[in-house]
Amino acid sequence: MFGNGQLTRRQQHKAALLQQSATHRSVLAQEAHKLRPVAEWADLGIAVARKARTGWTALAPLLSLWQARKQGSFGFAWKLAGAIAIARSLTAVWKRWC
């Protein structure tokens, strides 16, 4: 199939490629080590944002009711709609946490 010279050249080329791959892997590991603190801060920020989103989901209907009370009473229908909105948001929060 291959002559002895071709086989030797291909083996040398393979060895050079393996060495180059090892070098690139080492450089990549060093860069990943440098970026680890930044990635940890990003993960923490994402976790806080997810927790805050859950809180805002529950808090938004309560804030709207509070705002409506400041502006005046709208009657039983508005209070019922607000209670339903609160129940839905609390259900969503409950499902996320359980």
Give residue-wise pLDDT tens across range 11-52.
999 999 999 999 999 999 999 999 998 889 888 988 888 887
Closest listed residue to residue 60, CA positions, set 24, 86, 96? 86
Contact 74, 68 (CB under 8 A): yes
Total domain count, the chain: 1
Helix, strand, coil percentages for the chain (3-state, nearest 5): 90, 0, 10
Phi, psi of 2 (to 5 degrees): -110, 150
State the residue range of the domain holding 30: 4-97
Give the model's confidence band at 2: pLDDT under 50 very low, under 70 low, under 90 confident, else very high. Answer: low
